[in-house]
């Protein structure tokens, strides 16, 4: 009913505005129609945000409808995961959960209707004969020898097909349209095939199943969907979609509108390829944090809000674009910077002994949990004589703009004192094993030294005696090239060998032991990290969601 006014809208929302103001429709009904044959990925999120988003904005509704017309590929496992992912993204279909299989009876009647009208026939040709008869892109097809069977004969045959009197694949029901049509979809498309497959909902009730084309538009019409939004590859199907609406006594006239699917660089999006990554163990399951699946992004620690914002930002057009992963990550940082609690964690520890700090002594430090959000409150942790710092926060022979710790140099320990490196301890092989430093009692948190001296470097740390151990998994892009789909060789040739790095000896601030599974926090100066589902009190596991912007890395890379 309401037409939200905003500065600019995509072409689909413009069409909806027109349909509302012209009186063509007085409410808006959309639908998200996945086939339950795999896990949802971020490309589906684009469609979900579009369809459910429009329903919210226009005060309409969005149906969740499972397009389950090909039982050999489908399973309830996928139905469940799809529901979970949509809800996690923050959308709700309310009472409007549907299955195309709910319409099998209706569709069967409509098929008989077409037969009665002389607009459908049973074809006995083999698979190959049908294919050959279809012609190709530049040559028209030829009529099937069975094309002119009488309506009576067709009806008997079709009923017999349903009763199971014929073998799988031996006959099909086809629409009688035009074998010379320039659009191949209109060359007498197949409506029903015989397939004795157990359906996850209808069981063994049917041995004939309707095709996508004979199902989708009619399902939309039955649900009074006003705008049926799908991706570009269905563009050529629209004439057929409309042919069924025109030739069947459907209760409403939905309109199909196509938009471009989401592409992201440095990853693949096709179900087939994602399946291959899982089956060949290039990743650890559908929810591997490197996967572009919704479940993978969730496990990676991406907030649903960031995914929704991303979908809003990339917009809806018919242009086949490839979006930059950096845009997604930027949105993830935005949300997490605002929401994530801060902690300190050392991934690659180097022990530091503060030689002038009394043995056996410790003190409690208080600081904010999140500087961006005062409501997050305070946190407390301990400082003591032995601490860990990040190994790459020390260099024995530093380059010019290196602000961190080096021999004789002084840095600020984050939330604590200045320390100065006095001595580097090495093992027999020359590896640095320990640093001996002194601290300045004049420089606790919140105070600068009375002599006015300053330091440029701030280094995070954890108290050795108060730390907890953890494994931290660092994730990088799954592929090393921007478009693995079009790169030389197969996409598997371009897997990034360093997409996963395990840091098995990480030392965490003690407070991190209490963070629940699934929460994403910031490890100060390092990035955002999410408690993995495999994490336990005995064996803590964190996944890096995304690193912080790192301008030092850029400086370093240049030199």
SS3 66: strand
Q: Which is nearer to RNA, 175 or 288 (CB)?
A: 175
Q: Write 93-97 long-range contacts (CB < 8 A, 24+).
A: 93/32, 93/52, 93/62, 93/63, 93/64, 94/61, 96/61, 96/62, 96/63, 96/64, 96/223, 97/63, 97/64, 97/65
228 touches RNA (CB under 7 A): no
Interface positions, 234-253, toward RNA (CB under 7 A)? 234-237
Q: Which of 35, 156, 305, 329 is catalytic?
A: 35
Number of Cβ within a 10 Å radius of residue 501: 12
What minimum distance in Å lies between the beta carbon of 338 and RNA? Answer: 8
Residue 271 among the catalytic residues = yes
- Rounded to whole angstroms, how far apart are CA atoms 73 and 78? 10
Handedness of CA 509, 511, 517, 522 (dihedral sign): negative
- In terms of CB distance, is 285 or 398 closer to RNA? 398
Cβ atoms < 10 Å from Cβ of 113: 14
Of 1, 326, 465, 513, the one binding RNA by CB under 7 A? 326
* Whole-number Å distance between alpha carbons of 320 and 307: 20
C-alpha of 396 from chain center? 43
Longest dimension (CA), the chain: 104
Cβ atoms of 415 and 365 closer than 8 Å: yes
Q: Which two tokens stand for residue 246?
A: 């025109």
- Whichever of 65 and 473 has its CB closer to RNA, that residue is 65
Residue with tokens 């014929």: 166
- When binding is defined by CB under 7 A, the residue of 15, 190, 250, 468 that contacts RNA is 190
**Stretch of residues binding RNA (CB under 7 A), selected from 155-163, 176-184, 379-387, 535-543:** 176-184
How many C-beta atoms lie closer than 10 Å to residue 17's C-beta? 16
Give the dihedral sign, CA 165/167/171/172: positive
Residues in binding contact with RNA, number by CB under 7 A: 93
Residues facing residue 502 across a β-bridge: 473
Site string for RNA, 510-529 (x = CB under 7 A): ------------x-xx----
Place of tokens 């060359």: 187
Footprint on residues 68-87 left by RNA (CB under 7 A): 69-70, 73
Options 211-219, 284-292, 494-502, 531-539: segment touching RNA (CB under 7 A): 211-219
For RNA, the closer of residues 31 and 288 by Cβ is: 31
Residue closer to RNA (CB basis): 333 or 477? 333
Asked if 111 touches RNA (CB under 7 A), the answer is: no
By CB under 7 A, name the one of 3, 10, 269, 273 that touches RNA: 10
CB of 505 to RNA, least distance (A): 21
Specify the residue, 465 or 555, whose C-beta has the smaller distance to RNA. 555
Catalytic one among 271, 312, 351, 420? Answer: 271
Interaction between residue 164 and RNA (CB under 7 A): no
Site residues for RNA, 264-283, by CB under 7 A, read: none
Give, as one character, the DSSP assignment of residue 485.
T
Among 322, 471, 496, 505, binds RNA (CB under 7 A): 322
Q: Quote the CA–CA distance of 165 and 168 in Å, as a whole number.
A: 10
Least distance between RNA and beta carbon 497 (Å): 23
Strand-pairing partners, residue 495, are 479
The reply on whether position 147 binds RNA by CB under 7 A is: no
Interatomic CA distance for residues 306 and 49, integer angstroms: 12
Containing 231, the helix (H) or strand (E) segment is strand 227-231
- Determine whether 261 is an active site residue: yes
- Which of 27, 142, 183, 252 is close enough to bind RNA by CB under 7 A? 183
The least distance separating RNA from the CB of residue 249, rounded to whole angstroms, comes to 23
- Residue showing tokens 């409808």: 65
Cα separation of 327 and 514, whole Å?
Answer: 32
- Binding RNA (rule: CB under 7 A), the pick from 83, 134, 351, 420 is 134
Closest separation in Å from C-beta 429 to RNA:
27
Q: Which of the following is catalytic: 261, 312, 445, 525?
A: 261
Interacting residues with RNA between 387 and 426 (CB under 7 A) = 401-404, 412, 414-416
User: CB of 387: closest distance to RNA in angstroms?
Assistant: 14
Q: Which residues inside 443-502 make contact with RNA, applying CB under 7 A? A: 443-448, 457-458, 460
Among 2, 321, 355, 433, binds RNA (CB under 7 A): 321
CB of 275 to RNA, least distance (A): 13
Q: Which residue has the tokens 């592929």?
A: 479
Any catalytic annotation for residue 56? no
Which one among 247, 253, 260, 373 touches RNA, defined by CB under 7 A? 260
Residues 346 to 385: which contact RNA by CB under 7 A?
Answer: 371-372
- Measure the CA–CA gap between 164 and 329, rounded to whole angstroms: 53
Smaller CB separation from RNA, 324 or 534:
324
Altogether, the residues listed in the chain come to a count of 559
Q: Is residue 459 within 8 Å of residue 412, measured between CB atoms?
A: yes
Shortest CB 342 distance to RNA, Å: 5
Measured CA to CA, the distance from residue 552 to residue 559 in angstroms comes to 11
Among 2, 313, 433, 441, binds RNA (CB under 7 A): 313
Q: How far is the CB of 294 from RNA (least distance, A)?
A: 17
Sequence-distant (6+) residues with CB within 8 A of 329 are 546
User: Which are the catalytic amino acids?
Assistant: 35, 261, 271
């Amino acid at each position: 009913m309401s037409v939200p006014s905003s500065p600019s809208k995509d072409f689909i929302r413009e069409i909806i505005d027109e349909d509302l103001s012209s009186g063509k429709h007085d409410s808006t009904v959309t639908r998200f129609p996945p086939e339950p044959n795999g896990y949802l990925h971020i490309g589906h999120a684009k469609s979900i945000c579009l369809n459910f988003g429009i329903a919210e904005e226009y005060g309409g509704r969005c149906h969740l409808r499972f397009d389950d017309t090909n039982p050999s590929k489908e399973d309830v496992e996928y139905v469940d995961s799809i529901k979970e992912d949509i809800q996690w993204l923050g959308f709700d279909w309310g009472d409007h959960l549907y299955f195309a299989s709910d319409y099998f009876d209706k569709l069967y009647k409509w098929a008989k209707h077409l037969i009665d009208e002389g607009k459908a026939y049973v074809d006995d040709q083999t698979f190959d004969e049908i294919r050959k008869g279809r012609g190709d892109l530049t040559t028209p097809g030829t009529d099937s020898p069975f094309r002119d069977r009488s309506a009576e004969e067709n009806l008997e045959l079709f009923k017999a097909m349903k009763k199971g009197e014929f073998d799988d694949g031996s006959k099909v029901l086809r629409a009688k349209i035009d074998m010379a049509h320039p659009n191949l979809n209109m060359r007498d498309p197949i409506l029903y095939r015989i397939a004795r497959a157990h359906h996850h909902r209808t069981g063994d009730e049917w041995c004939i199943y309707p095709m996508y084309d004979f199902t989708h538009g009619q399902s939309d019409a039955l649900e009074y969907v006003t705008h049926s939004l799908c991706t570009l590859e269905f563009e050529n199907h629209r004439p057929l979609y409309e042919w069924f609406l025109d030739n069947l006594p459907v209760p409403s006239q939905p309109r199909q509108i196509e938009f471009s699917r989401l592409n992201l660089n440095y990853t693949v999006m096709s179900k087939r390829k994602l399946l291959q990554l899982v089956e060949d163990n290039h990743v650890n399951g559908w929810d591997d944090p490197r996967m572009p699946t919704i479940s993978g992004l969730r496990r990676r620690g991406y907030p649903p809000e960031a995914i929704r914002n991303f979908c809003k930002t990339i917009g809806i057009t018919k242009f086949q674009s490839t979006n930059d992963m950096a845009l997604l990550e930027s949105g993830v940082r935005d949300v997490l910077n605002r929401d994530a609690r801060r902690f300190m964690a050392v991934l690659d520890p180097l022990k530091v002994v503060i030689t002038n700090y009394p043995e056996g002594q410790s003190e409690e430090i208080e600081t904010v949990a999140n500087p961006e959000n005062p409501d997050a409150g305070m946190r407390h942790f301990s400082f003591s004589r032995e601490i860990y710092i990040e190994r790459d926060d020390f260099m024995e022979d530093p380059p010019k703009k290196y602000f961190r710790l080096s021999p004789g140099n002084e840095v600020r320990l984050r939330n604590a004192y200045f320390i100065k490196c006095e001595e580097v301890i090495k093992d027999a092989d020359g590896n640095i094993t320990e640093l001996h430093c002194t601290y300045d009692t004049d420089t606790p948190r919140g105070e600068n030294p009375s002599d006015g001296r300053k330091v440029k470097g701030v280094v995070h740390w954890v108290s050795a005696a108060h730390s907890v151990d953890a494994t931290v998994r660092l994730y990088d892009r799954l592929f090393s090239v921007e478009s693995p789909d079009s790169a030389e060789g197969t996409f598997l040739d371009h897997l990034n060998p360093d997409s996963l790095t395990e840091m098995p000896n990480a030392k965490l601030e003690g407070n991190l032991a209490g963070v629940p599974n699934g929460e994403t926090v910031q490890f100060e100066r390092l990035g955002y990290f999410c408690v993995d589902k495999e994490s336990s009190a005995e064996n803590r596991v964190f996944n890096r969601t995304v690193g912080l912007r790192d301008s030092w890395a850029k400086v370093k890379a240049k030199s």
